[in-house]
Amino acid sequence: MGQCVRLTEETKKIIGIQYSKGEAMSTLLFWATGNRQQATGNRQQATGNRQQATGNRQQATGNRQQAWLQKHRLTRWLAKLFVALSLVVSGEALAEVETVPPVQKWAVANGVNSLWNFNFYQLSKSEACLFFYNTWVVNAGYPPHTYIGDNGTYCRWTNFFDHLGIAAQQGIYWSKYDCPDPNVNPDVPYTYRPATNTCERELKYKLTLTPDSATIEPGQSYEFTATVTTLDDKQPGISVPVSVKAEVEANSGGHDHGEKVAKRDKGKVSPANGSNSFQINFTSTQVSGIHTITATCDQCVNKTAVAKVNVMVASLETIPSSAFYAFIGGEEDKPHHDNHYLTPAAAERLLVMAINYRSQQRFKVLDWNTNIRVTPSVLHVNDASLMWGGRFDIKANWTNPHITHMRGIEVDIRANDEVGAIDARNFKAFEKMLDDVVGGKTGRAKYLLECTADKPGSLLKHERKAENLCISRLTLSPDTNRHYHIRLIGAK
């Protein structure tokens, strides 16, 4: 008696018990005792002495159960002492295992009808006791009983033999171990390990990239941080690999090149691989646009973390419309249809120039037909900067024929033989006016980049429209692109 009885699979099926391998020996002991109780119970009415004998056996079993509990309380205490992290090799990647103590759940069985309630586990003994009493003793419609409660070893209530002086009837506890529902990442359940009486699951990680967005100027760099943590924000105990790449959105930054997939330089990330927590340096190109930094971690629940980088010259505004100038270029179907962006200070200087050009007497030119000096056409303003500034690749090939035009302080004014161009007779006076508005004769070469020297050895010469003028064209070239390129701010 009191042996550890092993149930056959067949028996388990018959009585409908879902044994987990971790079910306590106490339950098996109880089952053995319970069978005997059942036999004994049938004889109960015949003799009280035998019941007494059974009671003694129960007591013996109870003592063993008590000892078992003592042992396992120690186990649980040890398990709680640390969340053990052990490394296992799963495939190629190392993984960590998270270990937590199991939860012990209790049920109560009647000595006579021990089949009744094995699947109604409660979190505590007293809950199990009350549940059993209410469900199976009261509802079963037996003659009146009185609930006594849980005395730590038995669940007790009076029975209808009380008037015969027979002891209170009692149910016996039954327990099993269950794994708790995980608080963190509840989608991945714990698995019970009977050998260690613990619950385990593979530890998962999450990846973050901080900050998640940044704005930098074209050509500048920015530091991001990739961090892998456990889902409860602890450092991984192993090296969790992370790879990093940079991408750029097609048609972003004012470059509507009609691409489906961005073909431009995506910028540089360094390093492209790391682990756990590390700095990532992103260096943009001179071309403005929306870049993304994507960090990838196969062992992380979120797999990727993305940071957005707006590469742009901030604070550019579209040039306000005015009766003193007209806009050209930037047609809707062009790759750079928003070409008229400047800083507010630069736009203000452009307006002053335009007003001067229309209002000052010196710019009036003789109309050959009427022989009257007339006010010239308004300035025709071509490319300034793109909406976000940066390299203005007028040929939509990402290269840089517009050497500047990057920061919203430079603008081209038509000065060829087309409608609205500055009349060649006004070039000299126009440059003087630029000196006044933009600042100082010495700055002329700075704000008139087309005032270039002839290339040594080249047959192509810059033909000046007039001596000392910076506007010119190359020998034999058509004059269609002739323009003033004016630096509105910062000319020296």
Q: Point out which residues bind Zn ion (CB under 5 A).
A: 255, 393, 396, 412, 485
Residues 68 and 380: their CA atoms lie apart, in Å, by 96
Nearer to Zn ion, 176 or 402 (CB): 402
Closest separation in Å from C-beta 263 to Zn ion: 11
Could you tell me the smallest distance in angstroms from the CB atom of residue 463 to Zn ion? 19
Minimum Å distance from CB 327 to Zn ion? 15
CA 490 to chain centre: 42
Q: Are 390 and 312 in contact (CB under 8 A)?
A: yes
CB of 492 to Zn ion, least distance (A): 18
Count of alpha carbons within 13 angstroms of residue 355, beta-carbon side: 9
Q: Which is nearer to Zn ion, 5 or 474 (CB)?
A: 474
Question: Smallest distance, Å, CB 88 to Zn ion?
Answer: 52
Q: Is the peptide bond before 102 cis (omega within 30 degrees of 0)?
A: no
Residues 6+ positions from 360 with CB-CB distance below 8 Å: 433
Give the C-alpha separation, 453 to 445, whole Å. 10
* Residue 232 C-alpha from the chain's centroid: 16
How near is the Cβ of 332 to Zn ion at its closest, in Å?
Answer: 15
Residue 156 near residue 132 (C-beta atoms within 8 A) = no
CB of 364 to Zn ion, least distance (A): 27
**Where does residue 484 rank: exposed (0-12), middle (13-18), buried (19+ CB within 10 A)?**
buried
Q: How far is the CB of 474 from Zn ion (least distance, A)?
A: 16
> Closest separation between CB of residue 386 and Zn ion, Å?
7
34 and 17 Cβ atoms separated by less than 8 Å: no
Number of helices (H), then strands (E), belonging to the chain: the values are 7, 27
Which of these, 217, 69, 258, lies nearest to 153 by C-alpha position? 69
Exposed, middle or buried, 195 (CB in 10 Å: 0-12/13-18/19+)? exposed
Nearer to Zn ion, 150 or 431 (CB): 431
Q: Is the CB of 150 or the CB of 412 nearer to Zn ion?
A: 412
Scanning 338-383, the segments in alpha helix (DSSP H) are 344-359
Closer to Zn ion by CB, 114 or 382: give it.
382
Nearer to Zn ion, 242 or 434 (CB): 434
Cα 89 → chain centroid: 28
CA–CA gap between residue 31 and residue 299 (Å, rounded): 45
Q: Is 336:254 a contact under the CB 8 Å cutoff?
A: yes
CB of 335 to Zn ion, least distance (A): 5
Residue whose CB is less far from Zn ion, 238 or 451: 451
Is there a contact between 387 and 398 (Cβ–Cβ < 8 Å)? no
**Closest distance of CB 350 from Zn ion, Å:** 13
Between CA 156 and CA 171 the distance in angstroms is: 6
Joined tokens for residue 377:
């056409």
164 backbone φψ class: left, alpha, beta (φ>0; ψ -120 to 50):
alpha
Quote the CA–CA distance of 82 and 59 in Å, as a whole number: 36
* Phi, psi (deg, nearest 5) at residue 192: -80, 130
231/297 Cα distance (integer angstroms): 14
Closest CB to Zn ion among 128 and 381? 381
Q: How far is CA 295 from the centre of its chain?
A: 9
Distance CA 230, CA 240 (A): 11
CB of 437 to Zn ion, least distance (A): 17
In the complex, minimum distance from the CB of residue 347 to Zn ion, in angstroms, rounded to a whole number: 16
Q: Cα–Cα distance between 429 and 366 in angstroms, integer?
A: 15
